[in-house]
Amino acid sequence: MRAVSDRYVQSILDLPRPTKRALAVLVDSCLCILTIWLAFCFRLNDWVTLTGGQLLTIPVSLVIALPIFITMGLYRAIFRFLGWSAFITVIKAITIYGLAFMVIFTAISFPGIPRTIGIMQPLLLLLAIGLTRFMARYFLSEAYKRILRQNTQTNMLIYGAGSRGRQVAGALSGSVDFKVVGYLDDDKSLHGSLIGGAAVYNPEKIVELSARLNVRTILLALPKIDRSRRNEILEQLRGARVAVRTVPDLNALARGQAEFTDLQELDIEDLLGRTPVQPDQALLERNIHGRVVLVTGAAGSIGSELCRGLARLKPAALLILDQNEYGLYALENELTGDPDTGLQIVPLLASVCDELRIQKIMETWQPNIVYHAAAYKHVPLVEKNPVEGVKTNILGTVTVARAAIAARAERFILISTDKAVRPTNVMGATKRLAEMALQGLAAERASTILTMVRFGNVLGSSGSVVPLFRQQIRQGGPITLTHPEITRFFMTVPEATELVIQAGSMAKGGDVFVLDMGEPVKIIDLARRMVELSGLTIRDERNPSGDVSIVTTGLRPGEKLYEELLIGDNPEPTEHSKIMRARERFIEWAMLAPKLRQLSSAAEEGDVEELRRILSELVQDYRPFDGVVDLVSVRQGTSK
């Protein structure tokens, strides 16, 4: 019945605007006639037929009412959007009409027409037109919403028929974007049953169900399953051509920062398809609680997440240092958002290359722990700007480390990268030389424990492939890939920052810590997984009608097909089962210091050729990319 009425409403909505106005005029004309007849019936206390002079009231009513209604704009309004202002206009129009009608039939009067007709009919007309306008607004708007939902709603299945799944279904019941057409659940006893009118289906039949029910989205409402089972479910859903979404984190829901209807894209962990390494809470808290902690590069993706993790461990003060003004401002606002924590946040605008500024900060605040995350890390950019890469990644690291030693900081932890292992690019070479500088300083028996933490690619960080791939998928592709065989180790941002904190707690001086990151991941496999879990298909030779293509652009300058975490062999175990300690070759500080001074001079002069020569001499296995030069040096004519 509702479907029939909706089709009728749709046919009305589709009429041309002049036709709709003519229809409204016709309805109001009928109401004038109807209310005149009702006025006579009420006055004479009988169902009468109008005869003789009584019929005069009809043309008079129409001649007075319709010009007034048209002039006052009663037919310009869209009925389903009528508001109180429109109803006030109706009252004004009928008041004017009523005064004119009363003058004619009450004040002047005509034989056979009771004087009370001039009063009763305008009141009845006001009631009739008001009710018709209200009913039209209500029924047309409700039918329009239903029609809109039917045209725009995406059919959805909820994976999980438990309490959370039912809560989500209830929250989405009024959504104009999604329509819950059923549930998926692993519990076989629920298959075939109904929950709120929606059936529970077997997940093993997802391909058939998605086609039969025209499902475009599956919402995961499984808060208590472990990561391995979650990965199995995602693999099961990949072939169904459905977009997979999740509901917000329970903590965000509890804090009022999100609602059940705020559907999200899959977490980075879901895309990675591996179980994150669990932290050792004792190692996390060992050296942070009640201490003064400094983080350089705090506004970056790794540095900011490191600051969030450190803030939860309740240091006495957290010094956040960066040269990015807005990034520092935003991070400070975020960290000071909860005044109940009592945490002192100190924002410090500075460059790690500014030796005097860094020394003054160290002397003033006397940090116990220093986490050095400041670095240029985008391989192609550093390859084209090697001077800035050397200044920040090597000389900046030495500047901060020596200032920390002078201020008698307890620990200095460098955040390094797997690209420092047998580097083929300037970024990797600068990070490896920064590691060697710390190893050399540590061998000098400095009062500060100097260590470094090396890990692979971080999903979700700035420059990560995940945000890039997501944007390209939304745009319909293509996904750009440098090489079909390119392979990387991956971890999430929280994993990386927890590793840094835990490894720093175990440091003895000169250590290089690496994480057992499991099996490396092919970037093309990650891209395919993202496409398929977005409800799309890969367009290639086997499937020319697919949605998103993958295009290879060629390896970038200095880019390797495979990355490594260790230079040598036989890493040592540590207190954490997934963290290893490597002992790697380095150059004694007495021999390295003069070379660093030469490197500094070459950087100041913008001599790219000399920079590359010194890097090749100091960093084992570094082979500079031939033909890429510093962009500034090109203008100055100092590069080859």
Residues carrying an active site annotation:
419
- H/E run at residue 114: none
On whether the CB atoms of residues 459 and 445 are closer than 8 A, the answer is no
Rounded Cα–Cα distance for residues 157 and 178 (Å): 10
Q: Is the peptide bond before 478 cis (omega within 30 degrees of 0)?
A: yes
> DSSP strand E in 553-630: where?
572-573, 579-582
Structure letter (DSSP) for residue 277: P
Q: Both tokens of residue 49?
A: 């037929």
Q: Which residues pair with 275 in a beta bridge?
A: none
- Burial environment of residue 119 by CB neighbours within 10 A (0 to 12, 13 to 18, 19 or more): middle
User: Are the beta carbons of 82 and 137 closer than 8 angstroms?
Assistant: yes
In the block, tokens 């009710």 appear at 131
Q: Which residue has the tokens 């043309």?
A: 59
**Could you count the other beta carbons within 10 Å of the beta carbon of residue 578?**
18
- Tell me phi and psi for residue 378, to 5 degrees: -80, 115
What ranges make up the beta strands (E) of 126-174? 154-159
Q: How far apart are CA 473 and CA 479, in angstroms?
A: 7
Reduced to 3 states (helix: H, G, I; strand: E, B; else coil), residue 296 is strand
Determine how β-strand 317-322 pairs with β-strand 292-296: parallel
H or E element, residue 571: none
Q: Which amino acid is at 517?
A: M
